């Protein structure tokens, strides 16, 4: 049985950990509010540009712009978005399992698939799985900006136009609520109407000077907007998951302190009882 001194040391160590996890919980809560506001504010813009593209898809085809073109030849590219840091609960694990399951179910080998990773956790997992990582982006930070994703959007667009890939998907964790974050995959290229815009009739907008001219200006921003929204969703999910993980860690520390305190009191009581017995035995011996 552990001594009173050992138990006191353990209680002190757990209390120190509890202070750290509580502080990290408060930091995550403050950053979650900012990330959540940014994500929710960007969604209407992303939804509206999807709606415009859906309308353009009704009147244009692959002959009007190569980003609409469906190809049989070429590899598939997945843009995989995770976090740079850990301590985010099951967030990255769920996203990695989702991505690997998607790859396995489609039976894609190294020659048929390439990856562009955003976040070190996803990059390290894909390298351990021996999957080809063509490029890696990190350092978007707690406040990603639209300018941060422009290089990624340009890389994806140029490679698709160059015929390197026949399809581009983006996998990220969508922020549903503080308690729910869901791994999601969206098709980025070739461009198709988003599932939320399917059923919207064509020609609901008047395009000036022409649909093709509007498309030429809209497409580069559309790709960057979709990627930016995915990064925002993943950032909000990250801080939400971190807040919940640190809250659970703090509560677990409190429970452990209670258990250790109970054990300490039992050992202390046993020591007092033993000393009283020794004193009584010594008095009787006289």
Torsion sign (Cα): 130, 134, 138, 140? negative
Structure confidence by residue, pLDDT tens digits, 232-252: 999 999 999 999 999 999 999
Does a structural domain hold residue 7? no
Domain presence at residue 59: yes
Identify whether the C-beta of residue 198 lies closer than 8 Å to the C-beta of residue 212. no
Task: Establish if 109 belongs to a structural domain.
Answer: yes
Task: Return d(Cα 205, Cα 54) in angstroms, integer.
Answer: 11
In this structure, is residue 1 part of a structural domain?
no
Answer whether residue 217 is part of any domain. Answer: yes
Beta partners for residue 58, in sequence order: none
Task: Enter the pTM of the model.
Answer: 0.84
The total number of residues shown for the chain amounts to 286
Is the pLDDT higher at 59 or at 80?
A: 80
Domain that holds residue 132: 22-244
Number of domains in the chain: 1
- pLDDT > 90: percent of the chain: 47
CA angle 31–34–38, rounded 5-degree value:
135
Q: Is residue 15 part of a domain?
A: no
Instruction: Encode pLDDT of 250-283 as tens digits.
Output: 999 999 999 999 988 988 888 888 878 777 777 6
CATH number reported for the structural domain that contains residue 207 in this entry: 3.40.1380.10
Look at residue 12 and tell me if it is in a domain.
no
pLDDT for 110 equals 52
In a domain, 135, yes or no: yes
Confidence of residue 87 (pLDDT cuts 50, 70, 90): confident
Q: Distance of CA 27 to CAs 22, 30, 78, 162, Å?
A: 9, 5, 32, 44
Query: Token pair 């000036």 is at which residue?
Result: 208
Beta strands in the chain (DSSP E): 75-81, 113-118, 133-137, 165-175, 181-189
Chain-wide mean pLDDT for the chain?
A: 85
Query: For residue 13, is pLDDT > 90?
Result: yes
Cα–Cα distance between 79 and 72 in angstroms, integer?
20
């Amino acid at each position: 049985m552990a001594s009173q001194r050992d138990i006191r040391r353990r209680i002190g160590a757990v209390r120190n950990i509890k202070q750290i996890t509580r502080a990290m919980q408060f930091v995550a809560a403050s950053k979650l509010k900012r990330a959540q506001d940014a994500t929710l504010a960007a969604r209407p813009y992303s939804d509206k540009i999807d709606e415009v593209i859906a309308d353009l898809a009704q009147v244009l085809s692959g002959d009007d712009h190569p980003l609409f073109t469906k190809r049989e030849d070429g590899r598939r590219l997945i843009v995989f978005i995770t976090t740079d840091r850990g301590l985010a609960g099951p967030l990255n694990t769920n996203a990695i399992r989702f991505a690997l399951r998607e790859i396995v179910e489609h039976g894609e080998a190294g020659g048929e698939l390439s990856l562009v990773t955003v976040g070190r956790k996803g990059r390290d997992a894909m390298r351990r799985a021996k999957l080809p990582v063509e490029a890696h982006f990190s350092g978007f930070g707690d406040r990603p900006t639209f300018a941060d994703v422009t290089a990624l959007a340009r890389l994806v667009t140029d490679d698709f136009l160059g015929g390197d890939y026949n399809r581009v998907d983006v996998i990220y964790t969508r922020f549903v609520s503080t308690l729910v974050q869901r791994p999601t995959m969206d098709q980025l290229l070739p461009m198709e109407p988003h599932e939320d815009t399917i059923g919207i009739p064509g020609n609901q907008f008047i395009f000036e000077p022409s649909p093709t001219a509007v498309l030429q200006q809209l497409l580069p921003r559309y790709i960057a907007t979709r990627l930016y929204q995915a990064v925002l969703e993943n950032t909000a999910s990250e801080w939400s998951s971190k807040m919940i993980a640190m809250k659970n860690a703090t509560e677990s520390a409190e429970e452990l302190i209670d258990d250790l305190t109970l054990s300490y009191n039992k050992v202390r009581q046993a020591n007092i009882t033993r000393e009283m017995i020794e004193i009584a035995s010594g008095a009787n011996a006289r």
